[in-house]
Chain A
Amino acid sequence: MKKQNLLLLIAVIVIAVIPLVFIHPTQDAEIFTGSDDQAESMITQIQPDYQPWFQPFWEPPSGEIESLLFALQAAIGAGAIGYVIGVFRGRKQAKGTTA
């Protein structure tokens, strides 16, 4: 099981790294931009006169702040999963010593 988990983790890393290795920037095009933003430009391409009718109340003032909040989101999630696995393990061990 441990070996399987390790293999799964390696596979995920490899899948993420392959594009980084094989795709290189060209002069006229930015690479690894978000697909959500590309869809936005496709909308303006299909319907050039479309005006967004609502603006976000608050936007992260810089890319740094945005990445901070994304990191926070991931940290909350990772914290929750780590905590749960830890509690499960602890309970199992406690049960093992009393039984």
Chain B
Amino acid sequence: MHIMEGFLPVKHAIGWGLVTLPFLGYGCTRLAKQMKGDSGTKLMLGASGGFTFILSSLKIPSVTGSCSHPTGTGLGAIVFGPGVAIVMGFVVLVFQALLLAHGGLTTLGANTFSMAIVGSYVAYGVFHLGQSLHISPKISVFFAASLADLATYITTSWQLALAFPDPVSGYLGAAVKFMGIFAVTQIPLAISEGLLTVLVLNLLSQNAPDSLRATLPFTKEA
């Protein structure tokens, strides 16, 4: 989902940057609010950020014969809401843009939009939809994290299609081409991301202090 440095036209780069700013501002206020919480909350923030760091660094082979990576934004969005997860995703993207030449500063807005913003809101929305339909928390978390992962890559495909419409088949044709690269490759990885999110939330919930019972999805039912 990383659009490489300089690979979005100037107008698109600036546009996505502007769209992203208010979300980042909102995220920072949400994060500042959580940072005032007890030490259990702060530790949980560290673990959610760590999860985004690990998952977005793992390039995993897929059935299409290419490699891609999960995003890790679902966990933070489910536990703390989308605002906090947006900031975490943004920090990872800055790390990768500056140190790994993966993504870039000119594409930071677009990449933040797809991975941090769309990913976080999809995870949050799907999880709460599952909860309101009385689907088990574990199944809800699995679908929330998987669909957030997939939605991120579909967003990237559309971002590229808007910037580089196909001369023959237009925006839709280009989107299909980019989704052929991103979305199909991502399906098994999205499943893995869902499973890993359930696994790590299991481990955290088993050991979490009572003060986090209301925040963690798997401790409520116990």
Contact = CB atoms under 8 A, between A and B. Distances in A.
Interface residues of A, number: 57
Contacts of A46: 164-167, 174, 177
B181 A8 contact: no
Interface string A53-79: 111111110000010011101101111
B144 to A, nearest CB: 16
A64 to B, nearest CB: 13
Given A50-B164, A66-B100, A80-B46, A12 B7 contact: no
A67 B59 CA distance: 10
A23 B63 contact: yes
B54 A81 contact: yes
B177 A84 contact: no
B20 to A, nearest CB: 17
**B interface SS class:** helix
Contacts of A8: 195-196, 198-199, 202
Contacts of A40: 4, 7
Given A32-B65, A52-B5, A84 B44 contact: yes
Given A19-B62, A40-B7, A47 B188 contact: no
Interface residues of B, number: 75
Interface stretch (B27-35, B128-136, B203-211): B203-211
B178 interface: yes
Given A39-B181, A39-B182, A53-B6, A15 B192 contact: yes
Q: Most chain-A CB neighbours within 10 Å: which of B43, B49, B60?
A: B43
A20 B61 contact: yes
Contacts of A53: 6, 9-10, 106
A29 B47 CA distance: 40
B201 to A, nearest CB: 10
A38 interface: yes
Contact of B191 (A15, A31, A34, A66): A15
